[in-house]
């Protein structure tokens, strides 16, 4: 109990639980290493936080307290025996329920896979375990990661810890809520068009979409294979660096995995950046941007200038077509990837039977997909199937791929004259639950500032940079050249050294 005694003395809390839940992963890691707390004490403290917050926010789809405690006991036993536990050594990490795990179902937030149990761990999950991390439950998401609010989950509703009448963002809304509420210090999300960065912005935490290929996609259930990328979520940038270092690196089981060496992000994160060159895009500050978000982002640019950064305007004209381009390419890839969920190979199989002239197999396919897939998933499958169909392929998909190349070339050219591009993560703070549920186009526009990074395959980071008058978080997006995560993380840490937005917490 030495760790609890230490916490009582240092923070004079009524109990150690509230105090431990407010610590970040770097602080917790230090306390675990020095024996001030055990892994089991930490897990028990976070289980108390889970009991207090989960009924209000609904961050998790599957959670097993006994399993988390068993993992913690084993890590404590190995630590006592002098074993090297790895980079994460006893830190709990929640995992988005689109990454395969042997010990939890992998549902993708869909009725189609409600009862699916993977026979293997995704590479990201295996690396968390190898680094001594504790898999702390599977978090909610928009079905098959298709959405920007987590309202498209077929299995649960997740709410924003800052205001439970508002969405947490999506599709990694459960992971963002788990970190924001203090249930878990670290989380793994996935980002296809902003699905790490947008919920990070809405929930007042930090989130990183790595370069495409930096983190293995093996065991990540595919939405859009050329866009999907797993990445870390946490309160602060140094924590992102720690988790990225644990999960990044080449994986021979993923043909798109890059062979690039992984820097020691957790050690270089504090190195100062001198003469940082920042680019801003005037289009990101047009009439569609909420006034409070505009003000917060401009204030953040002032903080960078105060640290010696220079700011200049750059033009990215092709990126004006990013939303249209993304919403052709992503549905096309989804149409192909989700064809396997037919009631025979994978997923839900309909038990309804009727007499029609249609073949029994075709009827089984139709009923199984109608029952197993939600409205947004069906919408995207139909859009993609249409765009790939004969007579339309060249007009839509092929043209979108050409524009995608223009967007990437334009961004790569921009990084010849600036180090990072800074702007808003989202057009406005988190909206109310149900506010955009019947307006898909309005929902798609939430990705306005984020999809270009996925189309170009570059890394992008969101960090908290303010609060609206109604008390909702505002996010700042920072983008960098391919495989420049080290620079990107140092830029984010540079900002957080002079601001405290990442230290703010939702009211209990």
By annotation, the residues acting in catalysis are: 96, 171, 195
Handedness of CA 340, 372, 170, 444 (dihedral sign): positive
Total residues belonging to the chain: 508
| 368/352 Cα distance (integer angstroms) | 9
| 184/190 Cα distance (integer angstroms) | 17
Q: How far is CA 24 from CA 52, 94, 184, 206, in A?
A: 19, 14, 9, 12
- Helix H or strand E encompassing 413: helix 399-414
Taking Cα atoms as reference points, which of 58, 334, 278 lies closest to residue 177?
58
How is residue 193 written in tokens?
């068009």
| Degrees to nearest 5, angle at CA 136 with 484 and 24 | 55
Within 8 A by CB and 6+ apart from 213, the residues are: 256, 257, 258, 260, 457
| 200/170 Cα distance (integer angstroms) | 9
| 466/295 Cα distance (integer angstroms) | 9
317: how many CB neighbours lie within 10 A of its CB? Answer: 11
**Residue in the structure block whose two tokens are 């068993």:** 70
């Amino acid at each position: 109990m030495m760790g609890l005694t230490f916490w009582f003395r240092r923070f004079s809390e009524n109990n150690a639980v509230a105090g431990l839940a407010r610590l970040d992963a770097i602080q917790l890691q230090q306390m675990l290493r020095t024996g001030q707390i055990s892994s089991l004490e930490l897990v028990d403290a976070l289980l108390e936080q889970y009991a207090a917050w989960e009924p209000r926010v609904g961050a998790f789809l599957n959670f097993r307290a006994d399993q988390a405690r068993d993992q913690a006991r084993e890590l404590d036993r190995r630590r006592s025996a002098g074993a090297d536990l790895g980079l994460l050594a006893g830190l709990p990490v929640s995992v988005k329920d689109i990454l395969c795990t042997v010990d939890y179902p992998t549902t993708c937030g869909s009725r189609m896979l409600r009862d699916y149990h993977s026979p293997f761990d995704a590479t990201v999950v295996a690396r968390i375990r190898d680094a001594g991390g504790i898999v702390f439950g599977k978090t909610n998401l928009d079905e098959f990661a298709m959405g920007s609010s987590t309202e498209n989950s077929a299995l649960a509703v997740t709410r924003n810890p800052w205001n439970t009448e508002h969405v947490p963002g999506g599709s990694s809304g459960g992971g963002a809520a788990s970190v924001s509420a203090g249930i878990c210090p670290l989380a793994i999300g996935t980002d296809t068009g902003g699905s790490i960065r947008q919920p990070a912005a809405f929930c007042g935490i930090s989130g990183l979409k790595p370069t495409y290929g930096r983190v293995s996609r093996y065991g990540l259930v595919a939405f859009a294979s050329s866009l999907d990328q797993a990445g870390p979520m946490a309160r602060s940038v140094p924590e992102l660096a720690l988790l990225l270092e644990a999960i990044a690196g080449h994986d021979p089981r993923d043909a798109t995995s890059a062979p690039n060496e992984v820097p020691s992000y957790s050690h270089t994160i504090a190195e100062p950046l001198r003469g940082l060159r920042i680019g801003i895009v005037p289009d990101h500050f047009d009439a569609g941007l909420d006034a409070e978000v505009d003000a917060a982002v401009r204030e953040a640019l002032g903080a960078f200038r105060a640290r010696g950064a220079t700011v200049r305007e750059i033009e990215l004209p092709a990126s004006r077509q990013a939303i249209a381009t993304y919403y052709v390419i992503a549905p096309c890839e989804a149409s192909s990837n989700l064809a396997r969920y037919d009631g025979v190979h994978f997923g839900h199989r309909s038990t309804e039977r009727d007499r029609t002239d249609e073949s029994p197999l075709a009827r089984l396919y139709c009923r199984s997909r109608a029952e197993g897939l939600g409205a947004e998933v069906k919408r995207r499958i139909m859009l993609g199937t249409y765009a790939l169909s004969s007579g339309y392929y060249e007009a839509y998909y092929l043209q979108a791929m050409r524009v995608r190349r223009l967007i990437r070339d334009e961004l790569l050219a921009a990084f010849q004259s600036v180090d990072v591009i800074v702007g808003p993560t989202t057009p406005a703070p988190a909206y109310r639950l149900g506010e955009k549920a019947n307006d898909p186009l309005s929902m798609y526009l939430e990705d306005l500032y984020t999809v270009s990074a996925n189309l170009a395959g570059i890394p992008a980071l969101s960090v908290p940079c303010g609060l609206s008058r109604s008390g909702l978080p505002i996010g700042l997006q920072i983008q960098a050249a391919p495989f420049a995560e080290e620079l990107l993380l140092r830029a984010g840490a540079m900002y957080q050294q002079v601001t405290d937005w990442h230290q703010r917490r939702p009211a209990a």
